[in-house]
Amino acid sequence: MTFITVNGKPYNTADFEEFGHSETVTAGTGEQLPRLLAMIADVMADASRARQATSAESKNGGLSGSQSWVLASDISFAVGSRVIIARTSDPTGVWYVGQVTGYVSGTRTLTVQVEESNGAGGPYTDWTVSLTGQTGPSSNSGHGQCRLAKSGANLVLSPFNGNYLDINGTYEIVPDAGVSLAATSLAADTTYYIYAYMNTGNMTLEASTTAPVRSATTGVQIKTGDAARTLVGMARTVTGPAWEDSAAKRLVLSHFNRRQVVANAAFTADRSRSVGTYDELNSEIRNEFLCWADEPVRFMASGRVTVATSGQGFRTSIGIDGTTAEDVNSGASATGSSHILPFGFSHEKLLSVGYHYATLLGLAGAGGADWEGSGTAGERCTLRAVTMG
């Protein structure tokens, strides 16, 4: 007697007698399984097929945030369930995975919060919607898969080693084209924290002087008082206002995927001093930079000094945010008139988060000394500051 028919295959009571359930058979899914498990597999396959639909919605690949598809048939997908929506003609090339946030039966409109996607281009009009298991970021993904940098006149947050960013407890996708921020309407000579947030499903950047704080819920660095804004970097404006990231002014840092950022400057002409106390030799050699409080900044200086009088000498040091010498110096005494002497040193220091500058300081005997400057690399005094961001 037939007990049940699943996927066109009849099962009867004999299938459950004695050890019949242990017999290996081919399930409707094509799997070789014990008969009872084969029955369960077929039932599950039927349930899956019952939750599959198509859509002719015109939509590009690679979108993020909340997206909607109008289904060809009225098949309800429960809110909170997860679906994969793939091109029928290219299911491995263009697809979305996300959580169902709404379904309107009357209009057959399925709304999904996209969690992961593949492919680009379009628009496409052939979609197949299927239930899928619990998903989240892929196994090689995680929070902070992005990097902030200056591109043209704007700041741009781009994907880096993935494209996920935790915003308010949700993994959002950083668009392939990046997210940009102009300096328009900002104050000049001001340091800003750069935050990412979602604006009607679109990732957006904000510049704010409000400092970040670690979220007690997610552990993510967020804007103080606003968990919906995630810290992605720091930048400082110059006159314009405009963003600046040049050789002597490294004023853009990324919070994620930090790399060495090198500021460097040199004397273009000889700089003289004949006083026995430290002072800035010339402001043209200043390195302006931003830094994070948890990353030490390294400084390196080198060059040559001509000491006019035999028996007199010089010293070179570094000043950070002023003319007070750091606890590092290099110098020598002349053993003849117009004696050319080299100097060089390195220094490392943790500084407060934000904007700083470094400059060369010098002192010399009454006869005076000249720190060599030139328009030619390798023939002048240089200063470098290396930060991370």
Domain residue extents for the chain: 2-49, 52-132, 146-245, 260-388
Contact 199, 191 (CB under 8 A): no
Q: pLDDT tens digit string along 318-371?
A: 999 999 999 999 999 999 999 999 999 999 999 999 999 999 999 999 889 999
**Percent residues over pLDDT 90 in the chain:** 62
Contact 287, 384 (CB under 8 A): yes
Q: pLDDT tens digit string along 194-208?
A: 999 999 889 999 999
Q: pLDDT tens digit string along 153-206?
A: 999 999 998 889 999 888 899 999 999 999 999 999 999 999 999 998 899 999
pTM: 0.66
Q: pLDDT tens digit string along 6-39?
A: 545 665 555 545 544 555 555 555 555 555 555 6
The vertex-48 CA angle with 47 and 53, nearest 5°, equals: 115
Beta bridge partners of 343: 303
CATH number of 260-388: 2.60.120.40
Identify the pLDDT of residue 375.
84
Report whether CATH 2.40.30 matches the domain 52-132: yes
pLDDT of residue 141 exceeding 50: no
Identify the pLDDT of residue 20.
47
Contact 342, 379 (CB under 8 A): no
Number of neighbouring beta carbons within 10 Å of residue 245: 18
pLDDT of residue 216 exceeding 50: yes
Label residue 137 by pLDDT band (50, 70, 90). very low
Q: pLDDT tens digit string along 77-129?
A: 788 888 889 999 988 788 888 888 888 888 989 999 988 888 888 999 999 98
Distance from C-alpha of 37 to C-alpha of 34, rounded to nearest angstrom: 5
Mean pLDDT score of the chain, rounded to an integer?
A: 86
